[in-house]
C-alpha cells in the first residue's frame, strides 16, 4: 500500500485546532498519498485548544512533499503545516529502555550516554531515559545488545526550527 | 429550544428553503419538526443518492442567480447515510457546496454496532470537505453555520453534519444564546487570499503581452466565481482563444469567435491542437485533471503556464506553473480586464493556425450530422444534440448523465446561457442526471431544463421519476437508448478487439415506465422526427420524455487514448472491424 522506497526522511510539523478526527484526517491523507507514517508525535501547543503534530515520512522529491503539505494545509482545522529540514531544525527523540546489567556495566554506559536512571527494580534490571538524536539512541540500543534489553519505547521525532 | 428546532433555525438563517432527503429512524425527529413548522419544502427522493444529487443540482444551478444557495440533503443513519456517500464524493470532486445532515444512533449506543449504525464521520471524512458531529443541542446551531460557511467558502465542497438522535431531542439550556447575524466562524487556519498578488499579476500581464500563441483554459472556477462575463471581456480585450474544461463550458457562449470548445480526452480538434502548439496557457479555475492533460510528461512541453486557482494545493500538483496566482478567478479576470498594461495583439499567424485546426474534421462531422444515422441505420447522438441546439437556441439548461452522450453534448451543444451545463465530471457518476435535474429546476424554475441520459445511467437512478412525478418537476427527459453502455463499448471497439463484455443491455419498455409515472413519452427512430419531438417536449407543460433509438456504433471523436498525450489524439476511426 505504500510507494517504492525513498531514502530521504522528511519531518512535517502541523499546528491544528484540537478537534476530534484531525489526526485521523491527516493520517488518512498520508495513507491516500501512499506514504507510511514513520514517526508521529502529538502534543498540546502553547495556545490552549491547539495541538502540534510532528510526523516523519520518506520522500525524495521536494515537489511531492510540498503537495502533501499543501493538502494538509487545506484542512479546515489546520492552522499551518511546514517542512522542518534536517539542517534547519533539531530533530530529537526520547527513549525509555528496560534492560539487564550489572553495576559496573551501568556505570560505563552512564559515563558514555549520560542517561537518567528512572528505576532499578533489583540490582540487575534498570529502566533508563535518554533524549537525543536518533543516532545516539540507536548506538545505546546497539551497545546494550538484544540479549540484555527487555523492552524499548521510543517516542518518535519531535522537531523545532533553529 | 430542542436540537431539531435549532437545526431548522440554523438552516432558515442560512436561507435554506428546499431540503432533499429520505426519512428513517434516526432523522425522524428533524423531519417531524419540519412538518410542524412547515417552513421548508421537503423533496423526498426515492433513494438517498438521489437526494445528494438533487442538493448538488440546487447548488450548482443557483450559483449564477442573485441568491446562491447551498443544497441540503438529509438521510437517516447507517444505510441512509451510506447511500448519500456517492453523491457526497461526487460533490467533492466537482467542488460543489452541499450540506448533508445525517441522523446518527443515540450517543449511548454509538460504537456498539447498534441497529442502523455506521461510522458516518469515519466514512465521510475522506469524501467531504469537513465532517461534524455535535454532541450537545447547544453545539448544533454553530456547527451548521460553520458547515455552510466551509461548504461555500473558497473552493466549494460537501460538508457532513452527523447528529445523534438523542442530541436532536435534547433541549438547550435556558441561558443558551446564539446570534446568527453576528456569527463569525472561528477557523484561523481556513483563510483564502482576498486579493491576488499584485507583482505576480504584473508579471502575468507582461508574459501575456509577449505571447504570440497564447490560449486561455477556462475551468469550473470561472463558473463558480460567476466570472463568465469577465472571462469573455478579457479574452476579447487581449485577443486570445479560449478553450473550456468540461465544467468550464457555458461560462461564455461557445460559438463566440474566440471559443475553441472543450479541451481534453474528447475535446475538439481545435482546442487540443491549440493546447499542443501554444506558447502560453492561461488557466483560470481549473486543476489540470488527467482527462484534460492526457499523459503529463507530454503536456505543455513548449508552453509557459499561468495558473490562476483558488485552491493552493492544486497549484503545481499536476502541471508546473511559470506564474501561479492563488486567487478567485473572477477577481483576477476583473483586474486583468481593467489593466491598461494588458494590450490587444492581432496574433494573425496564431489565428490562421487555429482556423486550420478548426477545418481539420469539420466537413466530415457536418456530413455525419446531416446524415443523422450510423452504420446500423439508427440515430446519431450528435445529430440529436445539434437539433436540440437549434430548437433551444442553446439557451436552455442541459443536465447530462455520464458517458458518450455527455461528451457529445459537451462537443455539440451550443451553450449560450452562463452556467447552463450540469453533470458529474470528476467522479463521473452514472445516474447523476435525473436527480440533479430536480435541484436544477427548483433553483431556476423560469428556465427550461433538459435532462439527457443514456439507457445505462437512466436506470441507475430511474426511481427518481417518482420524485419528478410527486413534485411535478417540469424537466424534459431525453433518453439516448442504444442498448449498450456506449462509452465502455467505444473503448471495447477501439482497444479491446470489439469484445463487448458487460456492455449490452436488455432494456425494459421505457415508454411504459414513463407512463407508469404519468410522464408522457414518445419514441423517435428517424432523423426527420427529431425536431418535432423536441418541440413537442419543449411546448409540453410538465415533465416529458423522448426516447431516441440511437446507433450503438457511434464513436465519440476526437479521442486522446488513455495514457497518450494530446498529440496522440485520434481524429478518425474505421469502425468496420
The residue to which cell 431516441 is assigned: B548
Half-sphere exposure of B38 (CA within 13 A, CB side): 1
Strand pairing class (A39-44; A50-58): antiparallel
Query: Which residue positions in chain B have pLDDT lower than 50?
Result: 577
Residue B514 lies in a domain: yes
Number of domains in chain B: 3
Residue A138 confidence class, pLDDT cut points 50, 70, 90: very high
Q: Which of B70, B87, B11, B73 minimizes the C-alpha distance to B45?
A: B73
Q: Which of A137, A16, A3 minimizes the C-alpha distance to A57?
A: A3
Q: Which of B61, B43, B77 minimizes the C-alpha distance to B466?
A: B43
Same domain? For B423 and B548 the reply is yes
Strand pairing class (B18-21; B41-44): parallel
CA dihedral B68, B70, B72, B77 (to 10 degrees): 180
Give residue A3's pLDDT: 66
For B233-286, what is each residue's pLDDT tens digit?
A: 999 999 999 999 999 999 999 999 999 999 999 999 999 999 999 999 999 999
Same domain? For B324 and B206 the reply is yes
In this chain, the answer to whether the domains covering A9-83 and A89-161 adopt an identical fold is: yes
Active-site annotation holds for B48: yes
Q: How far apart are CA B363 and CA B358, in angstroms?
A: 10
Same domain? For B370 and B340 the reply is no
Give residue B192's pLDDT: 78
Same domain? For B535 and B398 the reply is yes
Q: Do A21 and B131 touch (CB under 8 A)?
A: yes
Same domain? For B411 and B482 the reply is yes
Same domain? For B461 and B342 the reply is no
Query: Which residues partner with B477 through β-bridges?
Result: B451, B545
Residue spans of the domains in chain A: they are 9-83, 89-161
For A89-161, which CATH superfamily applies? ACT-like. Chain A, domain 2 (3.30.70.1150)
Half-sphere exposure of A128 (CA within 13 A, CB side): 22
CA–CA–CA angle B409, B414, B415 (5° rounding): 90
For B111-160, what is each residue's pLDDT tens digit?
A: 999 999 999 999 999 999 999 999 999 999 999 999 999 999 999 999 99
Q: CB distance from A74 to chain B under 8 Å?
A: yes
Q: How far apart are CA B340 and CA B71, in angstroms?
A: 40
Residue A2 confidence class, pLDDT cut points 50, 70, 90: low
B152 is in which domain, residue-wise? 3-169
Q: How far apart are CA A153 and CA B11, in angstroms?
A: 50
Task: Give the contacts of B566 (CB within 8 A, at least 6 positions apart).
Answer: B272, B275, B276, B293, B294, B298, B299, B560
Q: Is the previous residue joined to B558 through a cis bond, with omega within 30 degrees of 0?
A: yes
Q: Do A25 and B125 touch (CB under 8 A)?
A: yes
Q: Can you read off the three cell numbers belonging to residue B210?
A: 509577449
Residue B188 lies in a domain: no
Same domain? For B475 and B520 the reply is yes
Same domain? For B46 and B119 the reply is yes
Half-sphere exposure of B242 (CA within 13 A, CB side): 28
Give residue B191's pLDDT: 81
Is the Cα dihedral B499, B502, B506, B511 positive or negative?
negative
Give residue A113's pLDDT: 95
Same domain? For B163 and B275 the reply is no
Q: Do A21 and B311 touch (CB under 8 A)?
A: no
Q: Do B190 and A76 touch (CB under 8 A)?
A: yes
The residue to which cell 540507536 is assigned: A138
Residue B174 lies in a domain: no
Give residue B88's pLDDT: 98
Residue A1 confidence class, pLDDT cut points 50, 70, 90: low
Q: Which of B265, B279, B329 minimizes the C-alpha distance to B494?
A: B265
Q: Which of A50, A74, A75, A78 should be substituted to probe chain B, the one whose Cβ sees the most B Cβ atoms within 10 Å? A: A74
Nearest CA in chain B to A15: B189
Q: Count CB atoms within 10 A of the CB of residue B473.
A: 24
Give residue A26's pLDDT: 95
Alpha carbon of B301: minimum distance to chain A alpha carbons (Å): 18
Task: Give the contacts of A27 (CB within 8 A, at least 6 positions apart).
Answer: A37, A40
Half-sphere exposure of B484 (CA within 13 A, CB side): 22
Give residue B190's pLDDT: 86
Residue B328 lies in a domain: yes
CA–CA–CA angle B37, B43, B47 (5° rounding): 130
Q: Which of residues 236-255 of B touch A (CB under 8 A)?
A: none
Q: Can you read off the three cell numbers belonging to residue B476?
A: 424534459
Q: CB distance from A45 to chain B under 8 Å?
A: no
Residue A123 confidence class, pLDDT cut points 50, 70, 90: confident
Alpha carbon of B370: minimum distance to chain A alpha carbons (Å): 48
pLDDT(A121) > 90 = no
Percent share of chain A, pLDDT over 90: 90
Percent share of chain B, pLDDT over 90: 96
Contact B397, B438 (CB under 8 A): no
**Structural fold of domain A9-83:** Alpha-Beta Plaits (3.30.70)
Backbone angles phi, psi at B459, to 5 degrees: -80, -5
Q: Count CB atoms within 10 A of the CB of residue B2.
A: 17
Q: How far apart are CA B469 and CA B478, in angstroms?
A: 16
Same domain? For B251 and B318 the reply is yes
Q: Which of B314, B189, B125, B425 minimizes the C-alpha distance to A31?
A: B125
Residue A70 confidence class, pLDDT cut points 50, 70, 90: very high
Q: Which of B129, B188, B316 sits opposite A63 (nearest CB)?
A: B316
Q: Can you read off the three cell numbers belonging to residue A130?
A: 535518554
Cα separation of the two ends of chain B: 70
For A5-29, what is each residue's pLDDT tens digit?
A: 789 999 999 999 999 899 999 999 9
Q: Which of B177, B228, B259 minimizes the C-alpha distance to B9?
A: B177
The domain boundary residue, chosen from B304, B327, B358: B358
Q: How far apart are CA B305 and CA B307, in angstroms?
A: 6
Q: How far apart are CA B135 and CA A86, in angstroms?
A: 41
Tell me the whole-structure pTM to 2 decimals.
0.95
Helix then strand count (H, E) for chain B reads: 23, 18
E-only strand ranges, B335-469: 397-400, 421-422, 449-454
Q: Can you read off the three cell numbers belonging to residue B156?
A: 466549494
Task: Show the 3-state SS of A34-94.
Answer: CCCCCEEEEEECCCCCEEEEEEEEECCCHHHHHHHHHHHHCCCCEEEEEECCCCCEEEEEE
Q: How far apart are CA B458 and CA B508, in angstroms?
A: 12
Q: Which of B410, B441, B440 minimizes the C-alpha distance to B428?
A: B410
Backbone angles phi, psi at B76, to 5 degrees: -80, 180
Distances B407 to B288, B452, B461 between C-alpha atoms, Å:
18, 11, 20
The residue to which cell 446518527 is assigned: B104
Same domain? For B334 and B462 the reply is no
Q: Count CB atoms within 10 A of the CB of residue B349.
A: 10
Q: Which of B313, B317, B321 should be substituted to probe chain A, the one whose Cβ sees the most A Cβ atoms within 10 Å? A: B313
Give residue B46's pLDDT: 98
Alpha helices in B393-485 (DSSP H): 404-412, 433-443, 455-458, 465-470
| CATH code at position B21 | 3.40.50.970
Amino acid at each position: 500500500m505504500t510507494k517504492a522506497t525513498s531514502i530521504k526522511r522528511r519531518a512535517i510539523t502541523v499546528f491544528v485546532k484540537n478537534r476530534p478526527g484531525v489526526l485521523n484526517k491527516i493520517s488518512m491523507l498520508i495513507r491516500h498519498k501512499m506514504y507510511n507514517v514513520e514517526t508521529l508525535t502529538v502534543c498540546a501547543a502553547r495556545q490552549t485548544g491547539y495541538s502540534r503534530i510532528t510526523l516523519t515520512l520518506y520522500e525524495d522529491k521536494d515537489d511531492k512533499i510540498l503537495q502533501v503539505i499543501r493538502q494538509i494545509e487545506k484542512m479546515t482545522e489546520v492552522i499551518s503545516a511546514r517542512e522542518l529540514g534536517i539542517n534547519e531544525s533539531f530533530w530529537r527523540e526520547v527513549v525509555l529502555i528496560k534492560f539487564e546489567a550489572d553495576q559496573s556495566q551501568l556505570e560505563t554506559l552512564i559515563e558514555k550516554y549520560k542517561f537518567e536512571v528512572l528505576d532499578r527494580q533489583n540490582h540487575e534490571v534498570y529502566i533508563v531515559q535518554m533524549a537525543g538524536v536518533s543516532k545516539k539512541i540507536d548506538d545505546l540500543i546497539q551497545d546494550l545488545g538484544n540479549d540484555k534489553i527487555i523492552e524499548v519505547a521510543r517516542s518518535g521525532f519531535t522537531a523545532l526550527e533553529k | 429550544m430542542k436540537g431539531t428546532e435549532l437545526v431548522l433555525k440554523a438552516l432558515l438563517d442560512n436561507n435554506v428553503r428546499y431540503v432533499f432527503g429520505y426519512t428513517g429512524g434516526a432523522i425522524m425527529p428533524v423531519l417531524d419538526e419540519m412538518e410542524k413548522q412547515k417552513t421548508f419544502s421537503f423533496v423526498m427522493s426515492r433513494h438517498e443518492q438521489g437526494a445528494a444529487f438533487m442538493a448538488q443540482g440546487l447548488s450548482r444551478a443557483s450559483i449564477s442567480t442573485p441568491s446562491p444557495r447551498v443544497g441540503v440533503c438529509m438521510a437517516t443513519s447507517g444505510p441512509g447515510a451510506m447511500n448519500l456517500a456517492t453523491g457526497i464524493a461526487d460533490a467533492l470532486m466537482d467542488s460543489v457546496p452541499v450540506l448533508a445532515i445525517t441522523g446518527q444512533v443515540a450517543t449511548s449506543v454509538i460504537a456498539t454496532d447498534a441497529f442502523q449504525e455506521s461510522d458516518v464521520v469515519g466514512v465521510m471524512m475522506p469524501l467531504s470537505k469537513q465532517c461534524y458531529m455535535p454532541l450537545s443541542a447547544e453545539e448544533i446551531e454553530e456547527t451548521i453555520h460553520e458547515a455552510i460557511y466551509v461548504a461555500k467558502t473558497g473552493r466549494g465542497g460537501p460538508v457532513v453534519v452527523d447528529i445523534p438522535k438523542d442530541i436532536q431531542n435534547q433541549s438547550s439550556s435556558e441561558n443558551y444564546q446564539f446570534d446568527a447575524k453576528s456569527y463569525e466562524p472561528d477557523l484561523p487556519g481556513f483563510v483564502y487570499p482576498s486579493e491576488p498578488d499584485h507583482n505576480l499579476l504584473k508579471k502575468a500581464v507582461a508574459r501575456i503581452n509577449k505571447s504570440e500563441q497564447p490560449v486561455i483554459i477556462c475551468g469550473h472556477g470561472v463558473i463558480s466565481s460567476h466570472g463568465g462575463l469577465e472571462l469573455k471581456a478579457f479574452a476579447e480585450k487581449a485577443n486570445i482563444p479560449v478553450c473550456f474544461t468540461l465544467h468550464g463550458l457555458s461560462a461564455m457562449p461557445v460559438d463566440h469567435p474566440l471559443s475553441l470548445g472543450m479541451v481534453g480526452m474528447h475535446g475538439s480538434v481545435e482546442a487540443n491542437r491549440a493546447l499542443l502548439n501554444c506558447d502560453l496557457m492561461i488557466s483560470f479555475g481549473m486543476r489540470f485533471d488527467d482527462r484534460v492533460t492526457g499523459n503529463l510528461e507530454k503536456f505543455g512541453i513548449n508552453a509557459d503556464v499561468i495558473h490562476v486557482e483558488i485552491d493552493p494545493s492544486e497549484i503545481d500538483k499536476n502541471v508546473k506553473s511559470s506564474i501561479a496566482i492563488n486567487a478567485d478567478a473572477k477577481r483576477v479576470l476583473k483586474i486583468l480586464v481593467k489593466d491598461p498594461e494588458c494590450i490587444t495583439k492581432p496574433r494573425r499567424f496564431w489565428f490562421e493556425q487555429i482556423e486550420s485546426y478548426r477545418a481539420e474534421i469539420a466537413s466530415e462531422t457536418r456530413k455525419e450530422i446531416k446524415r443523422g444515422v450510423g452504420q446500423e441505420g439508427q440515430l446519431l447522438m450528435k445529430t440529436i444534440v445539434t437539433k436540440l441546439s437549434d430548437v433551444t437556441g442553446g439557451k436552455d439548461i442541459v443536465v447530462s448523465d455520464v458517458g458518450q452522450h455527455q461528451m457529445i453534448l459537451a462537443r455539440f451543444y451550443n451553450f449560450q446561457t452562463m452556467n447552463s451545463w450540469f453533470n458529474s465530471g470528476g467522479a463521473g457518476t452514472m445516474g447523476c442526471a435525473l436527480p440533479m435535474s430536480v435541484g436544477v429546476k427548483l433553483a431556476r424554475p423560469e428556465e427550461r431544463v433538459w435532462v439527457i441520459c443514456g439507457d445505462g445511467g437512466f436506470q441507475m437512478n430511474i426511481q427518481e421519476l417518482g420524485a419528478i412525478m410527486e413534485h411535478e418537476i417540469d424537466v424534459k427527459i431525453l433518453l439516448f437508448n442504444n442498448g449498450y453502455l456506449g462509452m465502455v463499448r467505444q473503448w471495447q471497439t477501439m482497444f479491446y478487439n470489439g469484445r463487448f463484455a458487460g456492455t449490452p443491455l436488455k432494456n425494459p419498455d421505457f415508454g411504459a415506465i414513463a407512463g407508469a409515472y404519468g410522464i408522457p413519452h414518445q419514441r423517435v427512430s428517424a432523423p426527420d422526427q427529431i425536431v418535432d419531438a423536441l418541440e413537442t417536449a419543449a411546448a409540453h407543460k410538465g415533465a416529458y420524455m423522448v426516447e431516441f433509438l440511437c446507433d450503438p456504433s457511434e464513436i465519440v471523436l476526437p479521442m486522446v487514448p488513455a495514457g497518450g498525450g494530446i498529440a496522440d489524439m485520434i481524429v478518425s476511426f474505421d469502425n468496420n472491424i
